[in-house]
């Protein structure tokens, strides 16, 4: 146990020392010399130095940075057991699982916070939390779930599957990949530790002027999000170079599985736009620690500028979340419809169209913020235009379903639910894009419903489709199909029961981000809360299924779905080098129902196709 955790413990120790030196010690020294060192600054420097200490301890120093100083590296002993999941390991499959487990853990934490919120909202008046406590729970739920939504697909499934699907031995920069992952635990620690220093109550969007003056917890949130941003940027660059440069011979751009394309598109967004989030939050931090006047109202700052910069990232961010979900859902749909993906090229065009348009739609979040009037119409037009490329993705899903013969296993059920949920999420989005309707809907539960239909109903349902689909590849074992179906129907019904009434509540005046509401809205909130509890309980089925199947499920074999793409043409789980010999790709990825068509020819040792 200690042997397994040794690097992590070392990282924690170095991190604590780093925090102490960079925070309290430095601040104490400056104060002793008669200078001033605000507590906010102490937290920020401590958190940054602490993160560096954590990284050094957890393996960056021993396995990487020593080389910069001409010192011999000290790699940890090779280990095939579960121990390697606690190490600074460069195998993309190990990193994928590290991401998946970490962010599923955070997903359940965020879910528990949502349950807390729904408990408070069950009846009018205050039940469980204080007003400020509710704000903190709401803010933490928001940022934790945003982090999960950004990282779990790209970091988890993207890492695990993309190199396999393009026939590569690993990512282009394996150590940077490990760095991307090991930057995320400090993020989680800081977000939770922020509660110890007053938490923060400005929501995940951290709008100034409030975020420029509230409790010090805000500082930890800002540092955490900036570090998370660094991790996303490095991950995005890694995916771009990997997909551009590490493809197996014959794997042309037009032969890549659609999931790989979606990861490529999402990485394009994340490596550019994440900087605007970092910048906007750094400006808030500068206002707080350096007395600057970006947004601080009393010093003549302009808070609306924050909203422009923030959404310049954060609207593309929802496409960073949803694009890999599109790819995974289409992947599952085409394999389980046993037919080539309908309109493959149009989908790729749709992905790139979303990438292009996503940078010019941000201000639809600011229709009610007092931004210049002339921005309203263009932003309305660009936002609605984005439904065209999104529609291409959607039509491809429908076309594939119409032309295929459906095999209704659990992954396919979740993918079909994605079609339904995303339809509702997309259609309700139009009302938010329209200035005339959005002026009334803004800041109501209508927006909450829309957002959760797209991100939870869209992304998370696609995530479960993908998790069930790739589970046999990742674990080498088959999950319990019966429990999978129970989980599906439970989640699908409870999800719609929870979030559909939110549209009604929003239209009837239920404001978002509030802990209390008029008694007239009691019935719909009671219904929503009960449905949310049921929804939350459903995930226990998933958890039970995945854990027990991993331990004692039946062996799955290399290719239980008889799928054509490369990741299924190697053993489950794949060997460290992925393929015994580099596969040669000879055709498109989805060769179902086409006589004599083949996707790839595997090397002499690799022909273990199921």
Partner 1 sequence: MHRPEAARLSPHELYNARLGLWLFIVSEAALFSAFIAARYLNLGTQRPAELNQPLGLAITAALLLSSLTAYRAETCIAHGDRAGFLRNTLWTLLLAVVFLVGVVAEWVEAFHLFPPGTRYGTSFFSLTGLHGLHVLSGAVLLLGVYLHGRRGRYGPEDYWPVEGVVKYWHFVDVAWVFIYPTLYLVG
Out of 256, 278, 322, 413, the residue judged to bind partner 1 by CB under 8 A: 278
Closest CB to partner 1 among residues 245, 598: 245
Burial 447-486 (b: 16+ CB within 10 A, else e): bbbbbbbbbbbbbbbbbbbbbbbbbbbbbbbbbbeebbeb
CB of 603 to partner 1, least distance (A): 19
Q: Tokens at residue 334, please?
A: 């085409």
Out of 182, 261, 271, 517, the residue judged to bind partner 1 by CB under 8 A: 271
CB of 52 to partner 1, least distance (A): 13
> Does the footprint of partner 1 cover residue 207 (CB under 8 A)?
no
CA distance 47 to 263: 31
Burial 344-363 (b: 16+ CB within 10 A, else e): bebbbebbebbbebbbbbbb
DSSP structural state of residue 81:
S
Closest CB to partner 1 among residues 68, 374: 68
> Does the footprint of partner 1 cover residue 259 (CB under 8 A)?
no
**Per-residue mark of binding to partner 1, 137-176 (x: CB under 8 A):** -----------------------------------xx--x
Please choose, out of 205-213, 307-315, 380-388, 479-487, the segment that lies near partner 1 by the rule CB under 8 A. Answer: 307-315
Location of structure tokens 């009671």: 526
> Does the footprint of partner 1 cover residue 283 (CB under 8 A)?
yes
Query: Chain centroid to CA 599: how far?
Result: 30
Please choose, out of 97-105, 308-316, 420-428, 462-470, the segment that lies near partner 1 by the rule CB under 8 A. Answer: 308-316
Out of 244, 377, 402, 576, the residue judged to bind partner 1 by CB under 8 A: 244
> Does the footprint of partner 1 cover residue 305 (CB under 8 A)?
yes
CB of 578 to partner 1, least distance (A): 17
Question: DSSP letter string over 585-597?
Answer: E-S-S--SS-TT-
CB of 290 to partner 1, least distance (A): 5
> Does the footprint of partner 1 cover residue 491 (CB under 8 A)?
no
Q: Does the N-terminal peptide bond of residue 573 adopt cis geometry, omega within 30 degrees of 0?
A: yes
Closest CB to partner 1 among residues 301, 449: 301
DSSP structural state of residue 601:
E
Q: What angle do CA 221, 223, 229 make, to 5 degrees?
A: 100
User: Which strand (E) or helix (H) includes residue 600?
Assistant: strand 600-601
Out of 197, 210, 240, 478, the residue judged to bind partner 1 by CB under 8 A: 240
CB of 370 to partner 1, least distance (A): 14
CB of 229 to partner 1, least distance (A): 10
Please choose, out of 51-59, 159-167, 183-191, 302-310, the segment that lies near partner 1 by the rule CB under 8 A. Answer: 302-310
Strands 584-585 and 600-601, by their bridges, are: antiparallel
Q: Tokens at residue 402, please?
A: 């119409």
Closest CB to partner 1 among residues 292, 534: 292
CA distance 236 to 213: 33
SS3 breakdown of the chain: % helix, strand, coil, rounded to 5? 70, 0, 25
Closest CB to partner 1 among residues 22, 199: 22
> Does the footprint of partner 1 cover residue 68 (CB under 8 A)?
yes
Out of 4, 30, 213, 279, the residue judged to bind partner 1 by CB under 8 A: 279
Bin 203: left if φ > 0, else alpha if -120 < ψ < 50, else beta: left
CA distance 184 to 204: 17
Could you give the 3-state DSSP secondary structure of residue 141? helix
Closest CB to partner 1 among residues 38, 557: 38
Tally the residues of the chain: 610
> Does the footprint of partner 1 cover residue 200 (CB under 8 A)?
no
> Does the footprint of partner 1 cover residue 35 (CB under 8 A)?
no
Out of 4, 286, 584, 597, the residue judged to bind partner 1 by CB under 8 A: 286
Contacts for 429 with CB less than 8 Å, ≥ 6 apart = 387, 450, 454
> Does the footprint of partner 1 cover residue 280 (CB under 8 A)?
yes
> Does the footprint of partner 1 cover residue 52 (CB under 8 A)?
no
Considering CB under 8 A, how many residues would be counted as binding partner 1?
A: 42
The footprint of partner 1 (CB under 8 A) covers 67-68, 70, 72-73, 172-173, 176, 233, 236-238, 240-241, 244-246, 271-276, 278-280, 282-283, 286, 290-294, 299-302, 305, 308-309, 312
């Amino acid at each position: 146990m200690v042997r397994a955790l040794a690097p992590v413990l070392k990282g924690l120790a170095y991190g604590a020392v780093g925090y102490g030196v960079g925070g309290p010690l430095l601040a104490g020294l400056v104060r002793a010399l008669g200078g001033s060192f605000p507590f906010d600054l102490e937290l920020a420097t401590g958190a940054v130095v602490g993160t560096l200490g954590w990284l050094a301890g957890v393996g960056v120093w021993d396995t990487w940075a020593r080389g910069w100083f001409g010192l011999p590296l000290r790699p940890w002993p090779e280990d095939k057991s579960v121990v390697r999941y606690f190490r600074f390991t460069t195998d993309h499959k190990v990193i994928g699982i590290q991401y998946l487990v970490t962010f599923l853990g955070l997903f359940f934490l965020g879910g528990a916070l949502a349950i807390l919120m729904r408990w408070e909202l069950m009846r009018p008046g205050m039940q469980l939390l204080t007003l400020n406590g509710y704000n903190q729970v709401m803010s933490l739920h928001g940022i934790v779930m945003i982090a999960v939504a950004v990282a779990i697909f790209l970091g988890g499934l993207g890492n695990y599957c993309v190199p396999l699907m393009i026939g590569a031995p690993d990512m282009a920069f394996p150590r940077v990949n490990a760095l991307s992952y090991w930057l995320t635990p400090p993020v989680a620690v800081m977000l939770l530790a922020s509660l110890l220093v007053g938490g923060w109550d400005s929501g995940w969007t951290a709008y100034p002027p409030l975020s420029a003056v509230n409790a010090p917890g805000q500082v930890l949130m800002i540092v955490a999000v900036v570090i998370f941003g660094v991790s996303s940027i490095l991950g995005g660059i890694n995916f771009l170079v990997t997909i551009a440069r590490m493809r197996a011979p014959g794997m042309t751009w037009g032969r890549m599985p659609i999931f790989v394309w979606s990861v490529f598109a999402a990485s394009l967004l994340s490596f550019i736009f994440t900087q605007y989030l970092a910048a906007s939050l750094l400006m808030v931090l500068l206002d707080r620690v350096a007395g600057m006047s970006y947004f601080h109202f009393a010093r003549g700052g302009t808070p609306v500028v924050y909203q422009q910069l923030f959404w310049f990232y954060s609207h593309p961010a929802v496409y960073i979340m949803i694009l890999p979900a599109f790819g995974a859902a289409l992947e599952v749909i085409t394999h389980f419809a046993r037919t080539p993906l309908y309109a493959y090229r149009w989908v790729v065009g749709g992905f790139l169209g979303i990438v292009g348009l996503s940078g010019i739609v941000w201000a639809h979040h600011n229709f009610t913020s007092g931004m210049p009037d002339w921005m309203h119409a263009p932003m309305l037009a660009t936002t609605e235009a984005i439904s065209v490329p999104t529609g291409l993705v959607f039509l491809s899903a429908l076309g594939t379903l119409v032309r295929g013969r459906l095999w209704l296993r659990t992954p396919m059920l979740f993918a079909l639910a994605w079609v339904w949920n995303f339809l509702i999420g997309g259609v309700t989005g139009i009302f938010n894009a329209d200035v005339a309707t959005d002026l009334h809907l803004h800041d109501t539960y209508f927006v909450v419903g829309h957002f959760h239909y797209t991100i939870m109903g869209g992304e998370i349902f696609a995530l479960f489709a993908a998790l069930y689909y790739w589970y046999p590849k990742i674990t080498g074992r088959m999950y319990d199909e019966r429990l999978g179906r129970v989980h599906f129907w439970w989640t699908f019904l409870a999800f719609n029961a929870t979030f559909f009434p939110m549209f009604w509540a929003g239209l009837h005046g239920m404001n978002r981000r509030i802990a209390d509401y008029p008694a007239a809205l009691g019935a719909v909130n009671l219904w929503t809360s009960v449905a949310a509890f049921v929804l939350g309980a459903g995930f226990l089925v998933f958890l039970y299924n995945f854990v027990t199947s991993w331990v004692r499920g039946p062996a799955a074999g290399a290719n239980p779905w008889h799928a054509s793409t490369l990741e299924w043409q190697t053993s489950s789980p794949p060997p460290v080098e992925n393929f015994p010999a580099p596969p040669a790709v000879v055709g498109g990825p989805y060769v179902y129902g086409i006589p004599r068509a083949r996707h790839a020819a595997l090397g002499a040792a690799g022909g273990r196709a199921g």
